[in-house]
Structure 1
Amino acid sequence: MKKRLTAFLIVFAMVLSLTACSDDSGVTSTHKNSGLDTSLARSTDMKVSSSGDLEIQRLSRTETKKMGASGTWTIFVYMCGSDLESESGLATMDLQEMIDSTQSDKIKFVVQTGGANAWDNDLVDDSLTQRFVIENQNMEQIEEADVTNMGSAETLAEFLDWGVSAYPAEKMGLVFWNHGGGSITGVCFDEQNESDSLSLLEVENALTSVYPKMTDAFEFIGFDACLMGTVETGNMLAPHARYMVASEELEPGYGWDYTAMGNFIGGNPAASGAELGKVVVDSFYDACVAIDSQNEATLSCIDLSKIDELVYAFNDVAREMYSATTKTEVLSNMVKGITSAENYGGNSKSEGYTNMVDLGSVLKNMTGNIAGTDQALAALADCVVYMKNGSDKADSHGLAIYYPLAIQGSEELSIFKDICVSPYYMSFVDKMAYGSDTNGDFGSYSDTDWFGENSLYWSGSYDEAGGSAYWSELDQEPTEVYNFSEDESSVSFSSAPAINANGMYGFTISADTLDYVDAVYCDVFLDAGDGETLIELGLDDNITADWNTGKFEDNFSGYWVSLPDGQPLATYIVEQGENYNIYTSPVMLNGVETNLRIKIDFAGDGNYTITIIGAWDGIDEVTGQSAKEITKLKKGDLITPMYYSYSMKTDEEGTYEGESYTFNNDPVIYEEPLAVGDYYYSFQIDDIFGSSLYTDFEIFSVDANGDIYFNQ
């Protein structure tokens, strides 16, 4: 690749000045708009009419006119290289695929590069923002300027303004190439600008600014990035493209196959975005199969002309959801349906939270409790032209939606209010967040923020102070990590947590609050031996639960998932499937912090297999950027277990590091008996409002015979 691009540079490079491409905003926060004036009219407006119905108004053309010669394609690629390029050279690999695929004169790729600290070829310069045209198997530099922020709406808008004017075609596509973080944190995280990213509102701003320069919509807009296959994304793009191609989950492997894309267009220049989308999905999935990463893969092609019907149908469901908040049993079943739905990108203590859940899975799980779900499911299926998903994502339906599995503060909700597809759903999410602050007491809740004359819904502002009055309370961290008092929770006990006559640790939830319980886990800690520090071994669902009576007891066997050298791994549940559980475990891999993804397959006969899937860096807690893929381990990799630790004196949280283990290339591991010593056991009780109650610790001991018993 280096030699080939160097040759192109010598023979074909034509350097011009790149005008008006600087970002003077000075805003680098991942969640802030920058550059364009976001007070400008949006391409979509949504509100509730006086009769309570949803009204959607979108930019539209009275007539469309093709912008280029018949049978021609231009695909614009907004390539924010980031660490995917600077550490792995993945952008360079895809540039080569584009070069190889342009044998036909019917297709060209127009690429803007930036956002990476280094590039793995001799043509792209990390100190510049550059524009290239790839056609006839040549890559030619067209323009360059000082480096700009690829996470700025202004930078994107100027690229599109220039591109559609200079390289129009009968059919045009736009691809965002980089990391994705889902509906809240967006796409294209620029590592040269503090990982600033394009929010969905910024993407909309940029597309709206170029709309008057176009006489036709993009044939497709795609995201070669993780987690961007969401209904919020599709709703934003609806005025601007016919189709969307995006993944609900992480993108394993090397992302899209641009050779397959270009070759297909070259042989089928009259193809539609739907036909091209099928090729993109199939070739992506085939590439995942080739590296054995297909189990967690998802990719969908969405017909954006069908988004309105989906949004209308979902809004009808959301109205019922909001009304159901007054009926505790229905609300409980509904929230359990959401929290048990297929979710994407981790959503655990160790890996962080994207709060992205599968829309179809949510609707399916609420069928029977909430009216209108069948119609919404049908509308969703009508939107999805084509999709593929792996066995570990079997309940995927093509589009995800935001739901705060873990509320992460006022800024997240403030962003969501401007992209949420339904005011009733916004009011539902807001009311549940309110419930997390009031332990489920909705008595003083007001929905005027979403339905009044001065509604904040779809307001286009990221003013964190502009949300509901209680939002600021969500930014306050609790002063204690464990032993929250019962009166600070929506849950109460008819039989308090205690050791019973059979030596089992358990409790019974009172009948009047059982509906508030979403899940119960056991939390196990190792005594570090200093009299005050506990080392957490993680959360598990291995308990005895009777959801009819509210009685829960430990079912602990004294075994824990461990490395072959006997060290227990700190494990946290990521996903509970029908015949499997997926866990994550914080580790150092070759000296770098990451997480092991671990899968337990249940055979149904009492046997099970535990396998290390690979390593995933998770969600950056500051920027919201998702790591691109789960990396397979290699023989000789050094795995060092990491654990969260807690001081019983100060409640301070820290980390504890185990011993390094050399991976022997066998991904199968086992549950091993815990070492002789004292351990602390607690229950974590999650309520339907997203809060957790922790029971008091009970100490159990493991003796030299491997027997375990609670100390009474």
Structure 2
Amino acid sequence: MIFYQEKLKNKKMTIPWRVWTRLLLVATAFMFNQPVQAEVCLPPTVDEGLNLDIPCVGVDGQQYTAQILYKAPFWEYLSHAPSTCEWKVENCATLTSTMDLTVPNFALDGLSQIAVLKFDANESAPLRWTYQKHFENRAGESNGFSYNHGTLAPAKPTTEEVSGKKLLAIYMVGSDLEGRYKLGTKDLKELIRGYNALTNKEAIAVVVAFGGAKNWPGMRYASMAQILADSADNKFGNETGDDAYLYNEPRAVMGDKSALTHFLTFLQDNYGKANPRFLVLWNHGNGFLGYGKDQNNNMDGLSLTELHEAFTDSGTEKFDLIGFDACLMGSIEVANTIRHHAHYLQASQELEPGHGWNWEEVIQRYANHADLIEAGKSMVDNFVDNETHGKNRSGKTLSVVDLNQYDFVLTHLNTFADALTAKINAADPATITALNAALSPSSGAESYGKHGSNRLEFDLKHFATLIGGPESEALSQAIDNYVLHANNDGTRQNANGVSFLALNHNLYLSRKKVDKDQMVSFNGYEMNLWENLYVSESVWQLYKTIHALAQSDSQAPTVVDQVADARGGEFLNLDASDPLAQATGVVATFTDENLTTVRTIFGGVKSVEGEDNQLFLSVGAVQARPTEKNGQYFASAWDGQWYVMQYDEDEDPVWMPLAFENQYTDDTGQALTVYTAEVQFIRKVEDEVSTVGFFGDLVELFGDEEEPFPDDLAELEITFDANNNVVAHQVRPYLVIHENEADKRGHLAPGKETFDIQAGDEIRFLSTWLKFSPAGEIIGARFYPTTDGMLEVLQTPVFSFAAILLEDDEGDEMAPRYVMAAEDASGNITLTAPMDVK
């Protein structure tokens, strides 16, 4: 790298603060009309003196040529003029709103690089840039990661008169939801049905930006009239002609802030006089990790930082209401971003089931309610209570909050966080006990966005209530004033309308710690986790305190004793008439000050040939019951029966390796239990085989950490009543998200779509082998498919509770055994040695 090592070795290392008045003058000087495009733009050229001649540079939707002279150690502006060539992303440079210049195809000394030049905002200096960084030139490759935000050609002004009208604007990143399942198409058809049913069509303006899917490359803007015309062949995005869309750019990346900025600017310029203005962001959501995955660009999405920058850069005025038809966006971290750009926020705390909101109802309720808040409340209730649009008992939550009350919530959240931090640092026993209970995955705070044994978010009010104290009460009251309306389908009964980052989520705990100053200095790199989850210094200190507490506890719970033939009445405070009092079972006692949950795992064992070790195959896991003795837990004897699925009338049912998830009582008083299983799942969708993804507790067991996750894995969730009858079941996709090019494996996030298992699907259940030493210590684990291959489902599946036969790989019967597993608040896990079923 001769160029960078020698010719720029004296580059300026510090960047002065931005001088906004100077930027404004420069931006004003660049405001010319967009020229007619002709021949394809050539790449930049660099002469021997390092002077730059750039045939195309994008500035705020405009396109220019530019000449920049090198005057060591910086480049200085010489001239610019309107550009007449046809934009080519791998050749054209871009100038950001802060005047930083990204130059692709920077060819010198036989190398082709992307160079980033940092604007020097020193007011006394001429316009000049200093070298900041370079990286390998990948423009034009299909790896999906954007190295610069690009510049989109400006949109033509609309002629629609919007004064006195309501605005409904939708930013629909189709992603796999459209590319695989045509859910964007379904929602647009719902929108059409709702619009056609309106008696006051003239009172609402509708504009939709859609793209980001395999069948929707780039991005288009369409008015309601254009959507109606586009639907004639039951497909969207395939119209031709200059008037087919308000805007059409096949090279746009909807998961990049440049596209959202462009759309928001278009709305401000053309629909700014509408009142009220309702913007909905449609696609996958992942809480503080961001929103909107572009299927054509490696599922590249928008971080909360990018969302904020897109709104800010567009100069749009505050929307009256911003909604997310996306998962997990009803959090305090999301509100911290959106509060700058809207008065009210409508979003789900939990994963959204089905294909999201019922758009036939959304447009009607928005158009027909004179009061915006009442319209929002009506949309919330319709989403949750409508059984014909997305199954009930599938985790539906939705709320509408008043962002004008955000500061009051934050004030009380800071007070609560300061008090909790102080008590943790003082090792207050009552606080530590309450904290461990709140962090318990099975009986703690209401939680959302399950990632294996982890949760992405906690319900803020429920968590505070479990901690207790006057600070909790004050925070709860502030939340009540902030949440205008919240609803849930009965499965999330402690969903109070706003969530926050799960304090013990290992995505947080496993990352390298940084402080606030470091975090701010990192602004701008891809997927800035810390900036996106940062709410306040008090909350930040609480996160760090919880992290330190977890880091200080590396000791797993200790097994004190275990009994395989215990009688329930001896350990549980039960009336003699209770059947459990006479039942035998398994008991184990653990010591750990931070113990949060204990489960009993049913399974079978086999010997390892040539070894003294044993392999334990996990069949299912149930919640163990605490006895009156501290740290002691009991589970009833296993009678060899477990949950099975009949998939083919000519074949025996297969057992399902289910794990206890939670219990709740529905609005009829019926007690329900939820179990989950890891599966491989394939569904044939519209003549195309579709696979959906997976997340397991022990993902490191599924191949090398450098290998990408497979895409044919999923999570099955089944809800049973007290008589073991199935009330509901669903398969949920997981997405593989790569933070950057170096992240080969990626991380997994829950998808938005859910499925019932149907005839024609293929499925295979995944269990786990645990290897135990002769001393009963676990020394290894791996995933284990319970069948040799995928099972083709040839009937509507029938679930039941029946006796099962456990066989190993060779078809030999295995002896039934118990294992009890204890987990503490830091995620440390201990398993007892396998015990005989008696």
From 687, 694, 698, the equivalent of 2:831 is: 694
Paired position in structure 2 for 1:316: 415
Question: Which one of 487, 491, 511 corresponds to residue 392 of structure 1?
Answer: 491
Specify the SS of the correspondent of 2:364: helix
| Secondary structure of residue in 2 paired with 1:281 | helix
3-state DSSP of counterpart to 1:108: strand
- Among 676, 685, 707, the residue aligned to 2:822: 685
Tell me the distance in 2 between the aligned counterparts of 1:188 and 1:332.
39
Match of 2:184 among 91, 99, 113: 91
Q: Deviations over 1:209-258 (max 9, x none)?
A: 22xx34x4101111011111111111211121111111111222332233
Deviation at 1:538, TM superposition (A): 3.9
Question: Which of 601, 610, 633 is equivalent to 1:523?
Answer: 601
* Alpha-carbon distance, 1:653 to partner: 2.3
Q: Aligned-pair distance for 1:389?
A: 0.7
Q: Do 2:447 and 2:458's aligned partners in 1 also have CA atoms closer than 8 Å?
A: yes
The equivalent residue for 2:633 is 552
Q: Distance in 2 between matches of 1:501 and 1:259?
A: 58
Aligned-pair distance for 1:160? 0.9
Q: C-alpha distance in 1, partners of 2:728/2:826?
A: 32
- Using the alignment, how far apart are the partners of 2:512 and 2:329 within structure 1? 16
Q: Does 1:567 align with 2:654?
A: yes
User: 1:378 is matched with which residue: 464, 477, 481?
Assistant: 477
Aligned residue in 2 for 1:658: 787
SS at match of 1:173: strand
- What is the aligned partner in structure 1 of residue 73 from structure 2? none
Q: CA deviation at 1:402?
A: 0.9
- 2:534 paired with 1:420: yes
Q: Is the 8 A contact 1:34 1:153 kept in 2?
A: no
Match of 1:594 in 2: 714
Where 1:345 maps in the other structure, the secondary structure is strand
CA distance in 2 between partners of 1:267 and 1:552 (Å): 56
- In the alignment, what sits opposite 1:476? none
Q: Is the 8 A contact 2:682 2:762 kept in 1?
A: yes
C-alpha contact 1:338 1:365 (8 A) present in aligned 2: no
Partner SS for 2:751: coil
* Conservation of the 8 A alpha-carbon contact between 1:131 and 1:142: yes
1:80: Cα distance to partner?
Answer: 0.7
- Label 1:145 to 1:222 Cα distance change in 2 as closer, same or farther (>3 A): same
Q: Is 2:340 the counterpart of 1:259?
A: no
Q: Provide the residue aligned with 2:398 in structure 1.
A: 299
Match of 2:555 in 1: 489
CA contact under 8 A between 1:611 and 1:668: conserved in structure 2? no
The one-letter code of the counterpart of 1:192 is N
Q: Is the 8 A contact 1:108 1:135 kept in 2?
A: no
Residue type at the aligned position of 1:489? Q
Structure 1 residues 76 and 381: CA distance shift in structure 2, 3 A = same
Of 793, 803, 815, which residue of structure 2 is paired with 1:672? 803
Gaps of 5+ in 2: 1-35, 38-60, 64-86, 95-101, 103-137, 152-159, 231-243, 515-528, 568-583, 647-651, 666-670, 684-711, 738-745, 774-778, 807-812
Q: CA deviation at 1:666?
A: 5.6
When residues 226 and 395 of structure 1 are mapped into structure 2, their CA distance, relative to the original with a 3 A threshold, is: same
Does the alignment pair 1:433 with 2:538?
A: no
Distance 2:375 2:594 in 1: 47
User: Shift of the alpha carbon at 1:588?
Assistant: 2.9
Alignment of 1:129-144 (within 5 A): 129-135=219-225, 140-144=244-248
Query: CA separation in 1, counterparts of 2:586 and 2:361?
Result: 58
Q: Using the alignment, how far apart are the partners of 1:319 and 1:29 within structure 2?
A: 44
Structure 1 distance, partners of 2:429, 2:253, is 48
1:114 aligns with 211
> Any idea what the Cα deviations from partners look like across 1:157-186, whole Å, max 9, x if unmatched?
122122211232232222111011222x21
Amino acid at match of 2:220: Q
Q: Is the 8 A contact 1:238 1:304 kept in 2?
A: yes
Equivalent position amino acid for 1:127 in 2: P
Return the letter of the residue paired with 2:815: D
Which shifted more, 619-628 or 242-251?
619-628
User: 1:73-222 alignment to 2 at 5 Å?
Assistant: 73-102=166-195, 104-118=201-215, 126-135=216-225, 140-168=244-272, 169-183=274-288, 185-210=289-314, 213-214=315-316, 216-222=317-323
Correspondence 1:644 to 2:768: yes
CA offset at residue 138 of structure 1? Answer: 5.2
1:616 is matched with which residue? 732
The change in CA–CA distance for 1:580 and 1:266 in structure 2 (over 3 A counts) is closer
Distance 1:138 1:586, change over 3 A: same
Question: Residue 13 of structure 1 aligns with which residue?
Answer: none
Aligned residues: 582
Deviation at 1:154? Answer: 2.4
Aligned to 2:449: 345
Offset at residue 91 of structure 1 (A): 0.8
- Shift in CA distance, 96/398, structure 1 to aligned 2, threshold 3 Å: same
Q: Percent of aligned pairs with the same residue?
A: 21
Counterpart residue type for residue 580 of structure 1:
L
Counterpart AA for 2:664:
G
> Cα distance 1:526–1:501, how it changes in 2: closer, same or farther (>3 A)?
closer
Q: Measure the CA separation in 2 of the matches of 1:581 and 1:573.
A: 8
| 30 and 243 in structure 1: CA distance in 2 versus 1, 3 angstrom threshold | farther
What is the distance in 1 between the residues matched to 2:396 and 2:362?
A: 19
State how far apart, in whole Å, the 2-side matches of 1:30 and 1:323 are: 45
- After superposition, what is the alpha-carbon deviation per residue over 1:549-600, rounded to whole angstroms, capped at 9, x for unaligned? 3223453313332324453311223323353321111223347432221113
Which one scores higher on RCO, CA 8 angstroms, separation ≥ 6? Answer: 1
Larger Rg: 2
The whole-number CA distance in structure 2 between the counterparts of 1:177 and 1:88 is 15
Q: Is the 8 Å Cα contact of residues 98 and 109 (structure 1) preserved in structure 2? A: no
1:648-701 superposed Cα distances (whole Å, 9 cap, x missing partner): 697252332426374643654215355452245432211122322333x2253x
Is the 1:99–1:138 Cα contact (8 Å) retained in structure 2?
A: no
Partners of 2:285 and 2:326 within 8 A in 1 = yes
TM-score, scaled to structure 2: 0.63
Secondary structure, counterpart of 1:630 in structure 2: coil
Provide the rounded CA distance (Å) in 2 between the counterparts of 1:412 and 1:400: 24
Question: 1:342, 1:357 within 8 Å by CA — same for their partners in 2?
Answer: yes
Segment of structure 1 superposing worse, 25-34 or 153-162: 25-34
Structure 1 counterpart of 2:621, one-letter code = L
Decide whether aligned partners of structure 1 residues 418 and 129 sit closer, same or farther in structure 2, where only a CA change above 3 A counts: closer
Check 1:521–1:89 CA distance in 2 against 1; reply closer, same or farther (3 A cut): same
Structure 2 counterpart of 1:630: 754
Is the CA contact (8 Å cut-off) linking 1:304 and 1:383 kept in structure 2?
yes
The two structures have a TM-score, normalised by structure 1, of 0.73
Deviation of 1:265 after TM superposition, in Å, equals: 4.2
Alpha-carbon distance in 2 for matches of 1:253, 1:645 = 33
Is 1:364 the counterpart of 2:465 in the alignment? yes
Using the alignment, how far apart are the partners of 2:389 and 2:248 within structure 1? 37
Shift of 1:641: 2.0
| One-letter code aligned to 1:131 | Y
Q: Are the counterparts in 2 of residues 497 and 508 from structure 1 also a CA contact under 8 Å? A: yes
RMSD between aligned residues: 3.5
CA distance in 1, matches of 2:303, 2:383: 25
Verify the 8 A CA contact 2:605 2:617 in the aligned structure 1: yes
